Amino acid sequence: MKKIALSLLALSSLLLSSTATIEAKPAQHIDCASACRSWLGRADLLHSRVGVEVMELPSGKVVFESDGSRRSTPASTAKVITTSCIYDALGPNYVYHTRLVSNGVMSGTVLKGDLILETSQDPSLNRSDLVALVRDAGITLVEGKVLVSCPAEGHDNYAVSWLAEDFGQDWMPVSSNLVVDRNIAFISGLPKQLRVADSRGSGLAILETLIQSGIGTAWLSLDPANNIVTISRGTAFGSNGKIDSSIKRDGPYVVANPDVYNTAIFQSILNDQHVKTSMQATISKENLKEGSADYRTILSDHSSKPLSQIIRLCLHESDNLYAQQLLRTIALTEINKAKAGKAAGKSNRVESRTLEEKGLLKVGEWLSSLGVPGREVVLFDGCGLSRKDCITPHALNLVLKHMAAEADSAPYLELLRATGDGSNSYRFKTGAMDTVRAISGILVNNFNQTEAVTIMINGHTPSVKELRIALSDLIERLKRAPISRPETSTKASTKAATNPSIASASASKPAVPVKKTTTHHRKHHH
C-alpha cells in the first residue's frame, strides 16, 4: 500500500510539474499565412473568385498570397492608384486656380477687352465660388467677348466602358473642363434665362428602356442656341416597392453637357451681378496660360482647398467625379509642361486622345516606375466604375508600399479611412459594385508589424452584404496573427510567394493600356 501511495504521490507531483511548465510557456498565435488559409475556407467564399495578398512592409516580402497576381475587378479600390499618382506628382499642397482673366485693360469698372473664365478641372468648384470670382473682378461692363477657356484636348466625357444603367445616376456625373456643383442640377436652381422642356420620348428604344427600368435615371441637357433645357426623368421604385413617378421631380439631374450648361450658369451670374455684356458667354477651346500671346491680366482668382483635402473627400466619399477630374488633371499637368518646354510641336500623334486617355497613359508610366508589372493593371477610367478595369492585389500593394515608404508621399496614408490607431489599426479603401467587394490598405497588427493587405472578391451573388462581414473577418484575424519569422516564413507562404511575376517588374511598358484593350477573366475556384 505504501508503494502504491508513493507512486500516486510521484505521479501527482509529475503532473503538477508538467502543468506548471505548460502554463509558463507564452500563448501561441496562429500566424498570418495560417489565418489567411483558414479564412479562405469560409463557406460564403467557396463559389467566388478570391484574390488575397499580404505584403510585409517596408521589406516588400509577400508573406501570403492566393491569386495575388491574378487580375480582378477592383471597383473603387482603383481610386488608390489615381489619387496616389497625383499626390506623388503634385504634392499635398497643390491647389486648383480658376481665374477671370482678360486680354484687355480695366478703365475704372469697365473692361476694354475680352472677359475670360479660365477653367482648371477643379472638381470642388461651386456656384458660390463663381459668384465670388465675378464680385472680386469688380466689373460692370465688358466691351468685348465673354469666353470660357478650355484646353483643346478636353471635352465632356462619359466613359464608353461604363454601363448604361450608371448614366443619369448622381454617383456618376459627366466629367468636364468646367465643373460646377459636381455637374448635378435641380430644376429649382436653373438659370433664369433657361426654359424647361420635359422630354416626352427620345425616339430611341434603348433610352426608353433605361427610363422605364425603375432604376431612377434622371439627366438634363442644354440647347444653347434656344436656351432650352430638356430633362429626361425615369421612373423609380418608392419605399413601398412600387413605382413612384414623383421621385426626382426636382432633381438631382445629371448634366449631360456640363461645359455648355455651366457656361450658361456663368452668364447667369454675370447678369445677376449686373455685369453688362454685349454677347452671351461662349466656349473657347484654348488654354490661356501665363506666357501665351493672349494672356494679359488676372482680374480675380479662386483657389481650391489643398489637394490633400480633395483626395480625402474622393477616398472617403468614393466620389467618382472627383477621381475622373484628378485623372484629367494628371494629363493636363503633363500637357502644360510639354507646352512650357516647347515640346508639344514634336508630335501630333496623340492629339485625338481625350484628357482621360492621356491621364491613363501617365498613370501607366508612373506605375511602371514603381516596378508594378505592366500586365497586372488594366484601367479604362480613374474611378473604378468600369467593369472592364482589372488590377491584381499585388499591384495595389506595391502602390501602397511606395506611398508608405517615400518620405514626401507617406502622409498620403493619413487620407485613407481608418479603424484603430497605432498597433491594431488599418487604413484602407473599399470597393463595391454588383458581385464585387474589395478592400486595400495598410495594416498594423497587434505585434506592431506593418503589412499591405489587399482582398478582392469577384463573381459573388448579387447579394453581397455578407461579404462585408467576410472582409472584416480577415482583417480582424490578421490583426491577431503575427508574421512568421524568416526561418519559418517559407512554410507559411503559399505557392505564389515565389511567383516569378512578383519577383520581377516589367518597367519597359506602361502599366495601363488605354480603353481598346480587352481583358477576359479566367474562372478560378478555391
CA-CA distances (angstroms) from residue 429 to 190, 308, 407? 36, 15, 21
Strand locations in 414-458 (E)? 417-419, 425-433, 436-444, 450-458
Domain boundary among the residues 304, 339, 354 is at: 304
Which residues does residue 430 pair with via DSSP β-bridges, in sequence order? Answer: 439
Do 387 and 292 fall within a single domain?
no
| CA 389/CA 519 separation, integer angstroms | 9
The answer on 327 and 201 residing in a single domain is: no
Q: Omega of the bond prior to 252 within 30 degrees of 0, cis? A: yes
User: What single-letter amino acid sits at 470?
Assistant: A
Contact yes or no for 257/222 (Cβ under 8 A): yes
Distances (CA, A) of 279 to 73, 241, 275, 432: 49, 50, 12, 47
Residues 125 and 273 placed together within one structural domain of the fold: yes
Same domain, 347 and 433: yes
Number of domains in the chain: 2
Residue 8 lies in a domain: no
Supply the mean pLDDT for the chain: 84
Do residues 114 and 219 both lie within one domain?
yes
**330 and 195, same domain (yes or no):** no
| Cβ contact 98:262 at 8 Å | no
Are 275 and 413 in the same domain?
Answer: no
pLDDT value at residue 224: 92
* Nearest CA-CA partner of 332 in 119, 513, 81: 119
Residue 76 falls inside a structural domain: yes
For the chain, list residues with pLDDT below 50: 1-25, 288, 290-291, 293, 343-350, 487-510, 514-526
Residues 197/228, Cβ–Cβ less than 8 Å:
yes
Tell whether 525 is covered by a domain: no
Report yes or no on 7 lying in a domain. Answer: no
Please report which helix (H) or strand (E) contains residue 100, including its range: strand 97-102
Residue 2 located in a structural domain: no
In this structure, are residues 296 and 154 in contact, taking their beta carbons and an 8 Å threshold?
Answer: no
**Of all helices (H) and strands (E), which one includes residue 233?**
strand 228-233
CA distance linking residue 248 with residue 251, whole number of Å: 5
Which residue reads 491594431 in cell numbers?
424
pLDDT at 82: 98
| pTM metric for this prediction | 0.85
Cβ 113 vs Cβ 143: under 8 Å: yes
β pairing state of 141-142 and 115-118: unpaired
> Per residue in 22-46, pLDDT tens?
444 455 679 999 999 999 999 999 8
Can you give the CATH number for the domain in which 493 is found?
A: 3.40.710.10
Same domain, 432 and 473: yes
Return the SS3 of 271. helix
Q: Does one domain contain both 141 and 50?
A: no
Q: Which residues pair with 221 in a beta bridge?
A: 230
pLDDT at residue number 29: 76
Please tell me what DSSP assigns to residue 521. P
Let me know whether 411 and 495 are in one domain: yes
Indicate whether 83 and 125 sit together in one domain.
Answer: no
Q: What is the domain-level CATH number for residue 218?
A: 3.50.80.20
20 in a domain, yes or no? no
Q: Is residue 514 part of a domain?
A: no
Domain extent for 377? 32-92+315-503
Residues 238 and 323 in one domain: no
Q: With respect to residue 25, please indicate whether it lies within any of the assigned structural domains.
A: no
